Amino acid sequence: MRKQIEVRQRLLAENERAAAELRDLFARNRMLVTNLISSPGSGKTTLLEATAAALGHDLRLGAVSGDIATERDADRLRRMGIPASQIITGGACHLDARLVTEHLANWDLAALDVLFIENVGNLVCPTSYDLGEDFKVALLSVTEGDDKPFKYPGIFARAAVTVITKIDLLPHVRFDMDAVRNQVRTLNPDTHILQLSCTTGEGVDSWCRLLLNLLDAKRDSMKEDRR
């Protein structure tokens, strides 16, 4: 057990070094970078498709998608006009900073405003791995049930944004929105909580405004730092 703990600590330390280099790289290119984490089927790719449709003419978007197999997510995003790289983990349940670095090696990052890192579908493993992002986004679909924040507290405690998806299905499922919001607020009082449906478009504008505001805030902060 002790050896397993030591190996994990070493891996996390190596990841932190790689993540710090990524963070510097992203800052030099004045990009906003998000790390999307959720269980499979919560709607990460669908949200990015909706984001491309809403913001693709105003912002230069890019994506790195992680999955155990297939390039389906990256293919979907490419069809929406988003440059996308697929990381196939072959079984690993999360992305790490080294993998992201390798897949961005030939990218012209100066040509992007926002980079989305779409993590492997899992509410546990990706939580501990910093990818150099500006913030984590936790997605929870109403079809998953309203007990998930307290069952998987790590990600909801660390995510700066929690997005509750598929709200058009609320009439058809048992899901207590107030209970979920209270759980998330208990774990992270400062998080942004958004509710949306990519099917009807409800709430997508709030998500897009948040991205625009956070991009502006990051760039304004960088201007202040250079003075």
Which parts of 27-146 are beta strand (E)?
32-37, 61-67, 84-88, 114-118, 135-141
pLDDT tens per residue, range 60-111? 999 999 999 999 999 999 999 999 999 999 989 999 999 999 999 999 999 9
How confident is residue 2, by pLDDT bands cut at 50, 70 and 90?
Answer: low
Integer Cα distance of 215 and 213 in angstroms: 5
Our measurement of the distance from residue 126's CA atom to the centroid of its chain's CA atoms, rounded to an integer in Å, reads 10
Beta bridge partners of 157: none
Q: Quick one: which of 69, 56, 215, 41 has its CA closest to 134?
A: 215
Q: Is the dihedral of CA 73, 150, 129, 192 positive or negative?
A: positive
CB atoms within 10 A of CB 215: 17
Contact 62, 107 (CB under 8 A): yes
pLDDT tens per residue, range 157-200? 999 999 999 999 999 999 999 999 999 999 999 999 999 999 99
**Alpha helix locations (H) across the chain?**
2-28, 44-55, 72-79, 97-103, 148-151, 153-158, 177-187, 204-226
pLDDT tens per residue, range 61-74? 999 999 999 999 99
Q: Quick one: which of 14, 38, 52 has its CA closest to 155?
A: 38
How confident is residue 222, by pLDDT bands cut at 50, 70 and 90?
Answer: confident
- C-alpha separations of 17 from 24, 87, 117, 215 in Å: 11, 20, 18, 24
What number is the average pLDDT over the span 6-23?
Answer: 84
Question: Would you state the pLDDT for residue 12?
Answer: 76
What number is the average pLDDT over the span 10-23?
Answer: 91
Mean pLDDT of the residues in the chain: 94
CATH number assigned to the domain with residue range 2-226, chosen from the 4 options 1.20.1250.20, 3.30.390.30, 3.40.50.300, 3.30.70.60: 3.40.50.300
Asked if pLDDT for residue 3 goes beyond 60, the answer is no
Asked if pLDDT for residue 9 goes beyond 80, the answer is no
Q: 61: exposed, middle or buried (C-beta count within 10 Å: 0-12, 13-18, 19+)?
A: buried
